Chain A
């Protein structure tokens, strides 16, 4: 297990989230996706799609209280992969979303001014950030500026002053089309089974020791993470991916790829519902990704 610092940074803002929700035509998953089917026999792990488009992916570690940026950025990354591989969007994977961009947009641009408070943000602000301001990525040349490192300094500065204006047009090209409030385990499972990841903000804490891949509720974390999988046996649960690197000890789920075994854990259904009942967690859909770099084929299945 790697050294880690259990940084968090979820600062709930009920009025802020409610204000954002009022701007949505269909704010809840039940309203936005009434036709989504829940199959209580089908396990789904969205991380497999991320690893197919980004085989070298490994969970990083937040360096300040920027968990909202981290939970949401990974959700966007998985959405991008699912759009390509599950929904056949003619796009290519453009690399990891720069967590600082989501974090800063959620703290500054969404508020309309500099943010001189301490670290932290909330789900509704991140939802507004990715749908209205977009996302930046690691490894992309933004008119001579390329981001290759995970910088706490950048997150602090941008979280105070916002994403530099010169970069905003680049971010605007890569927005999430829609988000929907997820309020319980069943809704989250339904979203995930249909390829829509869920960014979760809650006060639920966990033991750092996995038991056969499951997390045990313990203490309080004002924290944002994301749900990337659903399983039904031995106990119905969602896979909750943290942003503290390979932080968990104990007995892992050997069915998960190694990149997820100690960076995430299964959370039982009732605990998931408790986490989601705070009504600041969202399913994401429809990412505006990058143009394709290679053709899928030449004959499209006709022959």
Chain B
């Protein structure tokens, strides 16, 4: 993973640190994420179902990391290209989740049954699984998917 991607992840983690864990109960209601399209709602319905047993803290962290991931990827590139192809987006996604969801929040793989499959299905359905260059359209698809996954995690849909 490049230093650029690490920098981007740092931004996400900074946001999680600022907006996520510290203010526990009020956080989830504080997330105002626009509802996705009906088509997108269907694609993330399994995410909502998988996170139904989750508490407020996990929901807040979930929403924070995905919503901020969308912000980072949707932002204009600087002079150095960070996201070259979908492999770099995948690396960014994994490291963001690994640090925020697993390491900071302490969630182990498999804690929420069906969550992994639900997210994989949503990402594959919206962004795809091909290794392709990151275009403006693909950035938008990725950001849309992330926002929808975040939206589904805070008690919407499912």
Contact = CB atoms under 8 A, between A and B. Distances in A.
A298 B130 contact: no
Interface string B83-110: 0001100100110011001100000011
B90 A303 contact: no
Contact of B98 (A291, A293, A295, A300): A300
Interface string A282-303: 0000000001111101111111
Contacts of B19: none
Interface in B124-157: 124, 127, 129-131
A194 interface: no
A295 B93 contact: no
Count class of interface residues, chain B: 20 to 34
A303 B93 CA distance: 11
B108 to A, nearest CB: 10
Interface stretch (B6-14, B72-80, B114-122): B114-122
Contacts, number: 54
A302 B94 contact: yes
B82 interface: no
B123 interface: yes
B124 A298 contact: yes
* Residue of A294, A297, A301, A303 with most chain B CB atoms under a 10 A cut-off: A303
B31 interface: no
Given A291-B131, A293-B131, A302 B98 contact: yes
A299 B129 contact: no
A302 B130 contact: no
Contacts of A90: 87
A291 B84 CA distance: 14
Contacts of A301: 109, 116
Contact of A298 (B98, B102, B120): B120
Chain A's interface: helix, strand, loop or mixed, by majority?
A: loop
A299 B119 contact: yes
A303 B130 contact: no
Contacts of A298: 90, 93-94, 119-120, 123-124, 127, 129
B130 A299 contact: no
Contact of A295 (B97, B112, B119, B131): B131
A93 to B, nearest CB: 14
A185 to B, nearest CB: 40
A94 to B, nearest CB: 14
A291 B130 CA distance: 12
A292 B119 CA distance: 21
A233 B45 CA distance: 51
A120 B124 CA distance: 49
A299 B120 CA distance: 7
B131 A302 contact: no
Contacts of B130: 293-295
A292 B88 CA distance: 12
A302 B87 contact: no
B94 A300 contact: yes
A303 B109 contact: yes
Nearest to A303: B116
Contacts of A300: 90, 93-94, 97-98
B87 A299 contact: no
B94 A299 contact: yes
B131 A292 contact: yes
A303 B115 contact: yes
B131 A303 contact: no
B87 A295 contact: yes
Nearest to A297: B120
Interface of B: 86-87, 90, 93-94, 97-98, 101-102, 109-110, 112, 115-116, 119-120, 123-124, 127, 129-131
Interface of A: 90, 291-295, 297-303
5 contacts: A293-B131, A295-B90, A298-B119, A300-B93, A302-B97
